[in-house]
Chain A
Amino acid sequence: MLEKKSLKSLKGSGHKLSQIKNQIEILEGGLFQNELSTFSDQLKSSVQYPLKPLALSVMQINLGYICNQVCKHCHVDAGPDRKEIMSKEHLEKCLEVLKSNSIDTVDLTGGAPEMNPNFRWFVMEASRIGVKKIIVRSNLTIILANKKYYDLPDFFKKFGIHLISSLPFYEKKKTDAQRGEGVFKKSIAALLKLNAVGYGKADSGLVLDLVYNPAGAFLPARQEELEKEFKQKLKSDFNIEFNQLLSITNLPISRFLDYLLVSDNYESYMEKLVDAYNPAAIDNLMCRNTISIDWDGYMYDCDFNQMLAMKVDAPSSQHIDGFDRTELANREIRVNQHCYGCTAGSGSSCRGSLV
C-alpha cells in the first residue's frame, strides 16, 4: 500500500538514494550479479549492442527540478524544495543549437517547467525561430497553483503547444496516492480549463495527451485498452476530452526505486521488467532520437540517464556549449538496468508505448 508521502524530496531529506552512486550500486548488484541478465547482455543477445543513436529530432530540456508537487514515483525527485533551475544563458544556447541543427521538436520538462521564470520567453523564442513542435509536460495543477499561472491555457493555445500531462488514473484514490492529496480534484479543474480553450477537442488542432503510469509495482497494460476506458470515464464523469493516452512504465530509479525498496517489491519488479523484455521496442527507444539537457546545460541520452548522472559518452560534447552533432551521432548510448523499463512489453517512452 502506498503510504502518506513526505513533502520533501529525497535530496531535501538527505535520503541515501539522493547519492546517485547508491542507486547505481543497487541497479548493478543483487539479482544482476548472477540471477538476471544485465541490460547490456540482453542487447548483446538481440545483436543491438552497443546501442547507437538514429537521426536527432528531439531536444528534451529539463528547465529545472522545482515543482509544486512531490509525487511518490517521481524519477526527477522534484519538489518545492529543489533549487536547480536552468539559466537564461543556457536557454539561449539551446535556442542556438535548435536553430543551427534544424532540430524540429523541443520537449520541455521539469519539475514544473512553467516555474522557470524564463519559460514563456523561451517558448516565444523557440516559436519565433521556427521550431515545428513545442511540447510542454505540464503537471496540470500548476495552472491553479498561483494567479500568475491562471492564463497558462491561453498562453499554451497562442503558441500551439502540444501538452502532455500526467493523470495516473481516472479516479481520485489512485491519483492522489501517487501525486498527493487533492491533486486529482485540481487536475480535473485544470483539464476543464484546457478543454474550455479547445485543448483535446476534435479538430481544434490543440493536442492534449494524458500520461498513465501504474500507481504501484506493476507494469502498464496495452495503451489502446486503457485509453478507451480513460476516455469513456473522463467524458461520462467530468465531461473531459483529450487526445491520446500515453502509457508509461515506472523506471526503477529515484523515488520509485525508494518505493520499491521500502515496500519490498524491488526484486519482483525487476523480474517482471526482465521477463517482459521485448527487443521489438529497441528501434523506437527515445534515447535513439532524443538528447536530454539538464538545468546546468549537460547532455544525456534520456531524462532517466540525466537523473542517474550518466552524461553522454561524447567527451568533448557533454555540455550544450560544446554541442557537436557529429560526435553525438557517433556516440554509444549508455545503458544500465533501469533501461529494462523502456523495453518491457509494448515498450515505454516519454511518448508512450513503442510497439
Chain B
Amino acid sequence: MTDSYYNPKDLRKFKDIKEFEPKLAEKFFDWYGEVFKAGALSEKEKALIALGVAHAIQCPYCIDAYTEESMKKGATETMMMEAVHVSGAITGGATMIHGLQMMNKAKKISM
C-alpha cells in the first residue's frame, strides 16, 4: 500500500475496477468508449471538454489522462489553457452566482 491517497501507477490500472463488480464495469467502459468517439463533436473537442471537467472536479488522474489525450488529438498548449480557463470561469461563476442567494437571505433577515 502506498502512503499517499493518489498513486500515478493506478491510472494504468483503471480497468481493474471490474474486479469487484464486472458487469457494471463492463457497461461503464463500453459507454465511456462510445462517449469519446467522434460524433457531432470531434475527438479533440471532446478531449478538451474532458480536460476542463477534470480541472473542475480536480481529478489528478483525469488531468494527466486528458492533457495527454488532448495533445494526441492535436490540441495546442493555448487550447488546453483556454479549456482550463473555461473550467475556472464556470466554477468561479458557480460560486459567485450563489452570492445572490447570500444576498437574498441577508436582505430577508435584515430590517
Tell me the A residues contacting B by CB distance below 8 Å: 169, 171, 173-174, 214, 216, 218-222, 225-226, 229, 271, 275
| Interface check B72, CB cutoff 8 A | yes
Contact flag A214-B72 (CB < 8 Å), given A225-B38, A225-B42, A225-B43:
yes
Is the pair A218, B74 in contact by a Cβ cutoff of 8 Å?
Answer: no
Contact of B74 among A219, A225, A271, A275 (CB under 8 A): A225
Is the pair B72, A221 in contact by a Cβ cutoff of 8 Å?
Answer: yes
CB proximity of B63 to chain A, nearest CB, Å: 15
CB proximity of B31 to chain A, nearest CB, Å: 20
Tally chain B residues at the interface, Cβ within 8 Å: 12
CB proximity of A223 to chain B, nearest CB, Å: 11
Task: Please encode chain B, from 73 to 111, with 1 for each CB lying within 8 Å of some chain A CB and 0 for all others.
Answer: 110110000000000000000000000000000000000
Is the pair A229, B74 in contact by a Cβ cutoff of 8 Å?
Answer: yes
CB proximity of B97 to chain A, nearest CB, Å: 36
CB proximity of B68 to chain A, nearest CB, Å: 5
Closest to B73 in A: A221
Collect the chain B residues with CB atoms within 8 Å of residue A169's CB: 74
Complex: A229 Cα to B72 Cα, angstroms? 13
CB proximity of B10 to chain A, nearest CB, Å: 13
Closest to A230 in B: B74
Collect the chain A residues with CB atoms within 8 Å of residue B73's CB: 221, 225-226
Chain B stretch 1-42: residues in CB contact (< 8 A) with chain A? 12, 38, 42
Q: Which of A216, A218, A219, A221 has the most CB of B within 10 A?
A: A221
CB proximity of A283 to chain B, nearest CB, Å: 24
Collect the chain B residues with CB atoms within 8 Å of residue A271's CB: 12
Q: Taking chain B's interface residues, is the majority helix, strand, or loop, or is none over half, making it mixed?
A: helix
Is the pair A216, B71 in contact by a Cβ cutoff of 8 Å?
Answer: yes
Complex: A334 Cα to B68 Cα, angstroms? 32
Chain B stretch 28-73: residues in CB contact (< 8 A) with chain A? 38, 42-44, 68, 71-73
Additional A-B contacts beyond A220-B72, A225-B38 (4; CB < 8 A): A169-B74, A173-B76, A225-B43, A226-B74
Complex: A171 Cα to B77 Cα, angstroms? 11
Contact of A275 among B12, B42, B68, B71 (CB under 8 A): B12
Closest to A174 in B: B76
Collect the chain B residues with CB atoms within 8 Å of residue A174's CB: 76
Contact flag A171-B76 (CB < 8 Å), given A221-B43, A275-B12:
yes
Collect the chain A residues with CB atoms within 8 Å of residue B44's CB: 221, 225, 229
Sort A-B residue pairs by CB-CB distance and give the 10 closest, nearest first.
Answer: A221-B72, A221-B73, A218-B68, A226-B74, A229-B74, A218-B72, A218-B71, A225-B43, A219-B72, A271-B12
Collect the chain B residues with CB atoms within 8 Å of residue A221's CB: 43-44, 72-74
Q: Which of B44, B72, B76 has the most CB of A within 10 A?
A: B72
Collect the chain A residues with CB atoms within 8 Å of residue B72's CB: 214, 218-221
